[in-house]
Chain A
Amino acid sequence: MGSQGDAKNGGEENMAAWLVAVNTLKIQPFELPSLGPHDVRVRMKAVGICGSDVHYLKTLRCAHFVVEEPMVIGHECAGIIEEIGSEVTHLVPGDRVALEPGISCWRCSYCKQGSYNLCPEMKFFATPPVHGSLANQVVHPADLCFKLPDDISLEEGAMCEPLSVGVHACRRANVGPETNVLIMGAGPIGLVALLAARAFGAPRVVIVDVDEFRLSVAKDLGASETVQVSTKAEDVAGEVDLIKKAMGEAVDITLDCAGFTKTMTTALNVTRPGGKVCLVGMGHNEMTVPLTPAAAREVDVVGVFRYKNTWPLCIDFLRSGKIDVKPLITHRFGFSQKEVEDAFETSARGGSAIKVMFNL
C-alpha cells in the first residue's frame, strides 16, 4: 500500500479512513473522482472528529441516515490546494483552505431561496452514502473551499465547521448586543455556541452542564456564569431559579445544545415571554415537554440544521480574534491505523476530550 503510482493524484495512492462495520475503521485506498472544471483537489491537513462521526462508528447510523456500505468518515477539515479545475479562478495550488462539507443541488427552491442547508439532494461529507474527508486528499467544489488568512492555522480552519453550527444558531435565534443568552450543555457544540454568542455581542452568557470540568472550560472561554445541573427531571424547577439568579436579568434566548427532554423543559420554562429557544442538540427524538405554556408566552422554538453561508463570517471572527477556537482542541493524533482508532476512542469518551484533531 502506498507503492502503487497513480497519475491522478500526483503519483501517490490516496488513503482514507473507511467505516467498514460497527466500531471498525480501516485505513484503505480511496480512489478520487476526476477533477471537474469547478473542482479543486485538496491535500487534507487537519480533520476534527464530530459527535456524528462517533455515532456512525458506534451504530452505523445517525438519525435517519444509515451506513449501508463502507464509507469514508470525517467532515470537519482544512487543507492545501494541490490542483485546480479549468474554470477555477479564485484559488491556486498552495492556497490553504477550510472546506464546507455539503454540496447542494443549486436548482431546487430551497437552494434558490438561500436555504441550501435544507436541500433534499444535499451531498455531505460522511453522511451516507457520501464519502467523508478523513483522507490524504479529496476532490471538492472550489466554491466550498474558503481561503485562510496567513495567521489562521489549518486546525483553526477545520474548526470552522463546528463553529458554523454555533454561528448559524446565533443567527437563527437573533443573538445580538441586547440578548442575554443561556446555553444548555458545555460540550463541543455548547462551547462553540458560547464563542459565537459572545462574538455576536451577547452581553451575558450563562452556561449549564452536569460536568464541572466542562463548566470550567466554559468559564475560561468567557461564560459570564456557569451552573452545574443534574440529569434528574425533578430538579428542573430548582435549576430554573438558579439560572435566573445567575443571569441576573431575563433570559432572552436559550440555545439547547444538549437536546434532551429535561434541557428543553428547562429552556421552555426559563426563557422570558417573547424570547426564543433554539434546539441545536439532538439528544432525544420524541420529547414530553411543556410546550403549551411556553407557546402561550410566545416563546418560540427555532430549529437548526447544520449551517448556511457561515465560513466567511467564521474566518473573519478567527482573523480578528473575536473568537479563539484553539483552546477547544484538546487532543491530537496522526493519520495511522492505530492513531485513528485511539482518536475515536478518545473522542467517544467525552469528559476532558473536547475536540480531537487529526494532523495529516
Chain B
Amino acid sequence: MADSAEIMVQKNGGEEENMAAWLLGVNTLRIQPYQLPPLGPHDVKVGIKALGICGSDVHHFKTMRCANFIVKKPMVIGHECAGIIEAVGSEVKNLAPGDRVALEPGISCSRCDLCKNGRYNLCSQMRFFGSPPTNGSLANKVVHPASLCYKLPENVSLEEGAMCEPLSVGVHACRRAQVGPETSVLILGAGPIGLITLLAARAFGAPRVVMTDVDESRLAIAKSLGADELIQVSTEMKDASDEVVKVQTAMGTGIDVTFDCVGYNKTMTTALNATRSGGKVCLIGLALSEMTVPLTPAAAREVDVIGIFRYRNTWPLCLDFLKTGKIDVKPLITHRFKFTQEGVDAAFETSARGGNAIKVMFNL
C-alpha cells in the first residue's frame, strides 16, 4: 500500500488526492483515497482540521454495526468535526473560503412531516456522517450542505468546534428534559456523554448536579468540571436501593431530572426510583436494547421517561456557550493524534480503552 503522503494525483483541480479513514472490516481501518461528489450550488467543500472519536465510531469499528445500522460495504468513519471552507457553491451567501466552521453531520430530507415540524433528527431519510451507508468525515476534505456548517466565533478553536457535536447531545437532552434554574439534576455515568451533559446542565442553570460512576478517576474529572457531589456506585443490581438513598441524600432536595447516560437495567432502575414524583428521566445511554425496569411504579408517580436521538438545532447554542465561556469543553480532550495510519490505529485503540481517555481528537 503506497504511502498516502506521496501520492499526488491531478484531480480536484490540481489539488492532492483526498484521503479518508475507511472502515473495511472488524477492527480494520485504512487510509485510502476518497473521491468527493461534485460541489452543488448549496454545498461547501471543507478541509477537515479537527475530528473527535465517538463511542458509536468505536462500536462500528469493533462490530461493523451500531443498533440497526449495519456496515455492509467500506465506509469512511467519523462525524464529530470542524474545518476550514475551501470552496463554496454558487448559491452560498453566508460562508466564504477561509471561514472556520463546525459541521452538523446529518442531512435530513426537509420534506417529510417530521422535518417540517422541526423534528428533523427523527427523519427516516437522514444521511448521517459515519452511519452506514453514509460516508463519514475523517478525511482531508468533505462536501457538505452550507446550511449545516456553522461559522466559529474568533475565540473558539477548531477542536472546540468539533466538540459541538457531542456537546449537542447534552444540550438536546437538557432541552427535552426542561433543565433550568429550578431543576436539580442527577447524572448517571461520568463518561464523555455524562460529562458533556454536566456541562450543558450547568449552562442551562441547573442549581445542583449530582453524578455517579463506577470509576473514581472519572468522578474526579466530573468534580473538576463542576459537579456538586459525586457518588461512586457498583455494577451490582443488589446495591440499587442503597444507591437510590445515597443519591437522594447527596441531592438534598427532590431529584427533578435524571439523565441516564449509561442505559443499563441498573441505571434505569436507579433513575426511575430516585427521581421525584412528577420528575423526568431522560434516557441517553444506549447500552441495552431490552431493559427490565420498574416502569409502573414510576409511571404511577408521573415520572416520565424522555428519549433522545442525537439533537436538532443545537449548533448555534453550543457555539454561544463556548464563545461566552459558559461551557469549557477543552478539558475533555485528553488525547490527540495525527491523520496517519499509525495515528488512526492508535487513536481508536485509545478511545476504545476508555478509562482516562475521554475525548480522543484528530488534528488534520
- List the interface of chain A (C-beta within 8 A of B): 63, 110, 115, 117-118, 172, 259, 264, 273-274, 279, 282-305
Known contacts A264-B295, A287-B292, A303-B298; A295/B283 CB under 8 A:
yes
Q: Which residues of A contact B114 (CB under 8 A)?
A: 273-274
Ordered by A's residue number, 30 sampled pairs between the chains whose C-beta atoms are within 8 Å are A118-B277, A273-B119, A274-B122, A279-B299, A283-B296, A284-B296, A288-B291, A289-B291, A290-B290, A291-B283, A291-B291, A291-B293, A292-B286, A292-B287, A293-B289, A296-B286, A298-B119, A298-B307, A298-B308, A298-B309, A300-B304, A300-B306, A301-B304, A301-B305, A302-B302, A303-B299, A303-B301, A303-B303, A304-B300, A305-B300
Q: A110 near B295 (CB under 8 angstroms)?
A: no
Please, how many residues of chain B have a CB less than 8 angstroms from a CB on the other chain? 36
Within 142-171 of B, Cβ neighbours of A (below 8 Å) are at: none
Q: Which residues of B contact A172 (CB under 8 A)?
A: 302
Task: Tell whether B263 is near chain A: CB-to-CB under 8 Å.
Answer: yes
In the complex, what distance in Å separates the CA atom of A230 from the CA atom of B53? Answer: 46
* Least distance between B112 CB and chain A CB atoms (Å): 11
Q: B301 near A292 (CB under 8 angstroms)?
A: no
Task: Tell whether B41 is near chain A: CB-to-CB under 8 Å.
Answer: no
Task: Tell whether B288 is near chain A: CB-to-CB under 8 Å.
Answer: yes
In the complex, what distance in Å separates the CA atom of A300 from the CA atom of B298? Answer: 13
Task: Tell whether B198 is near chain A: CB-to-CB under 8 Å.
Answer: no
Task: Tell whether B268 is near chain A: CB-to-CB under 8 Å.
Answer: yes
In the complex, what distance in Å separates the CA atom of A84 from the CA atom of B308? Answer: 52
Within 65-90 of B, Cβ neighbours of A (below 8 Å) are at: 67
Known contacts A274-B119, A305-B302; A294/B295 CB under 8 A:
no
Q: B307 near A294 (CB under 8 angstroms)?
A: yes
Q: Which residues of A contact B121 (CB under 8 A)?
A: 298
Checking B292, B304, B307 against A297 with a beta-carbon cut-off of 8 angstroms, the contacting residue is B307
In the complex, what distance in Å separates the CA atom of A299 from the CA atom of B309? Answer: 10
Tally of contacts, chain A with chain B, CB under 8 A: 120
Task: Tell whether B316 is near chain A: CB-to-CB under 8 Å.
Answer: no
Task: Tell whether B98 is near chain A: CB-to-CB under 8 Å.
Answer: no
In the complex, what distance in Å separates the CA atom of A130 from the CA atom of B208? Answer: 37
In the complex, what distance in Å separates the CA atom of A303 from the CA atom of B299? Answer: 4
Q: What does DSSP make chain A's interface, helix, strand, loop or mixed?
A: mixed
Known contacts A289-B295, A292-B291; A303/B300 CB under 8 A:
yes
Q: B294 near A285 (CB under 8 angstroms)?
A: yes
For B265, give the chain A residue with the smallest CB separation. A288
In the complex, what distance in Å separates the CA atom of A110 from the CA atom of B292? Answer: 29
Q: B277 near A110 (CB under 8 angstroms)?
A: yes
Checking B122, B286, B297 against A273 with a beta-carbon cut-off of 8 angstroms, the contacting residue is B122
Task: Tell whether B226 is near chain A: CB-to-CB under 8 Å.
Answer: no
Q: Which residues of A contact B122 (CB under 8 A)?
A: 273-274, 297-298
Task: Tell whether B207 is near chain A: CB-to-CB under 8 Å.
Answer: no
Q: Which residues of B contact A293 (CB under 8 A)?
A: 67, 289
For B292, give the chain A residue with the smallest CB separation. A288
Q: A288 near B290 (CB under 8 angstroms)?
A: yes
In the complex, what distance in Å separates the CA atom of A117 from the CA atom of B301? Answer: 9
For A278, give the chain B residue with the smallest CB separation. B299
* Least distance between A40 CB and chain B CB atoms (Å): 29
Q: B296 near A304 (CB under 8 angstroms)?
A: no
Known contacts A110-B277, A282-B296; A292/B263 CB under 8 A:
yes
Q: B298 near A299 (CB under 8 angstroms)?
A: no
Q: A110 near B278 (CB under 8 angstroms)?
A: yes
Q: Which residues of A contact B268 (CB under 8 A)?
A: 291
In the complex, what distance in Å separates the CA atom of A273 from the CA atom of B294? Answer: 23
Q: Which residues of B contact A305 (CB under 8 A)?
A: 277, 300-302
Q: Which residues of B contact A291 (CB under 8 A)?
A: 268, 283, 290-291, 293, 295, 305
In the complex, what distance in Å separates the CA atom of A288 from the CA atom of B290? Answer: 7
Known contacts A110-B277, A299-B307, A300-B306; A290/B289 CB under 8 A:
yes
**Which of A63, A259, A273, A298 has most B Cβ within 10 Å?**
A298
For B304, give the chain A residue with the smallest CB separation. A302
Q: Which residues of A contact B263 (CB under 8 A)?
A: 292
* Least distance between A26 CB and chain B CB atoms (Å): 30
* Least distance between B267 CB and chain A CB atoms (Å): 12
Checking A115, A264, A295 against B307 with a beta-carbon cut-off of 8 angstroms, the contacting residue is A295
Q: A285 near B293 (CB under 8 angstroms)?
A: no
Q: Which residues of A contact B67 (CB under 8 A)?
A: 293, 296
* Least distance between B8 CB and chain A CB atoms (Å): 44
Checking A285, A292, A297 against B288 with a beta-carbon cut-off of 8 angstroms, the contacting residue is A292
In the complex, what distance in Å separates the CA atom of A35 from the CA atom of B93? Answer: 76
* Least distance between A255 CB and chain B CB atoms (Å): 12
Q: A300 near B296 (CB under 8 angstroms)?
A: no
In the complex, what distance in Å separates the CA atom of A293 from the CA atom of B124? Answer: 14
Q: Which residues of B contact A298 (CB under 8 A)?
A: 119, 121-122, 176, 306-309
Q: Which residues of A contact B289 (CB under 8 A)?
A: 290, 292-293
Checking A118, A284, A295 against B302 with a beta-carbon cut-off of 8 angstroms, the contacting residue is A118
Q: Which residues of A contact B278 (CB under 8 A)?
A: 110, 115, 118
For B307, give the chain A residue with the smallest CB separation. A295
Q: A286 near B292 (CB under 8 angstroms)?
A: yes
Q: Which residues of B contact A304 (CB under 8 A)?
A: 299-300, 302
* Least distance between B124 CB and chain A CB atoms (Å): 8
Q: Which residues of A contact B297 (CB under 8 A)?
A: 63, 285
For B176, give the chain A residue with the smallest CB separation. A298
Q: Which residues of B contact A292 (CB under 8 A)?
A: 263, 283, 286-291
Q: A303 near B291 (CB under 8 angstroms)?
A: no
Q: Which residues of A contact B304 (CB under 8 A)?
A: 300-303
Q: Which residues of B contact A295 (CB under 8 A)?
A: 283, 305-309
In the complex, what distance in Å separates the CA atom of A300 from the CA atom of B308? Answer: 9
In the complex, what distance in Å separates the CA atom of A117 from the CA atom of B305? Answer: 19
Checking B176, B286, B294, B299 against A301 with a beta-carbon cut-off of 8 angstroms, the contacting residue is B299
Q: Which residues of B contact A296 (CB under 8 A)?
A: 67, 286, 307-309
